[in-house]
Amino acid sequence: MHATPPLRISGLTPLTTIDFPGRIAAVVWLRGCALRCVYCHNADLQNPSSTARDPSWESLVRFFERRRGFLDGVVFSGGEPLLQSALPDAVTALRDLGFETALHTAGPCPGRLIRILPHLDWVGFDVKAPFEEYESITQIPKSGENARESLVVLQRSDTPFEVRTTIDPNLMDMAMVMRMAAQLQKMGLSRWVLQEATGKRLPVGLEDRIAPLFDHLEIRKASEARPDTPPPRPESGRYPPRGARAA
Ligand code: SF4
């Protein structure tokens, strides 16, 4: 079984209960990212080129063959999984093995998202900032336009999804978060997840101001947050450490 051209895999989290709602899953971390978020803590993963230490697709398939009956699903995360043209084949291959499939994305490729959505059981969608202010976080001009289009694609699909935003008060003040909240509410979003950045607390009073705008507002502590990069790869040994979770 092959996904062609080969999927460029940075690592595997063999067991997680928090990255694919309601499922016991593994997370496959994929290489390459179109954004350069100022808070990204794994610049290594932004590099699309494989390294000699990266797991092969074949080893990944062997892992999942051994986990049939123990895992419900697989999460493709990154980096940005949608950048890899081998992703649809990989999703299909693991579905054929009996696994449900989920995607973590920041939505840089709306066309690719449209095509892969029918083959996904869930999407975790990261919104970085008010769409017209994306560059302040991602450092990529006009990156908000594709993200907005991808969110519309998700809203029009039948695939369940979650929209979440990591709030770093040093990068996003109360006014900026409120602009984002108003924008998402206007787009018809009823549920929003706010995640604390590592080592940071949400601005005092933010939750009370935002909660009335949504049917459901979830606050995730940094310890519970789903960052969109794995922990840095250790200098040596197995990656990730056995039992590590994708958070
Ligand atoms: S935080 Fe995620 S989306 Fe942003 S640059 Fe890093 S890998 Fe890319």
Of 30, 80, 134, 166, best ligand 1 pocket probe by most atoms within 8 Å of the beta carbon? 80
> Is the CB–ligand 1 distance for residue 46 below 6 Å?
yes
- pLDDT at residue 214, as a whole number: 97
The neighbour count for residue 229, using CB atoms within 10 Å, is 22
CA 238, CA 230: separation in Å to the nearest integer?
Answer: 14
Average pLDDT, 10 consecutive residues per value, the chain (247 residues): 73 95 97 91 84 92 97 96 96 97 97 98 97 95 96 97 94 94 97 91 91 96 65 39 32
Task: Enumerate domains of the chain plus CATH numbers.
Answer: 9-220 (3.20.20.70)
CB 194 within 8 A of CB 219: yes
- pLDDT at residue 247, as a whole number: 27
- pLDDT at residue 222, as a whole number: 77
Asked if omega into 144 is within 30° of 0 (cis), the reply is no
> Is the CB–ligand 1 distance for residue 33 below 6 Å?
yes
Two tokens at 81? 């999984």
- pLDDT at residue 45, as a whole number: 86
CA 146, CA 6: separation in Å to the nearest integer?
Answer: 26
Of 10, 30, 36, 40, best ligand 1 pocket probe by most atoms within 8 Å of the beta carbon? 40
- pLDDT at residue 245, as a whole number: 32
Whose alpha carbon is nearest atom 4 of ligand 1? 37
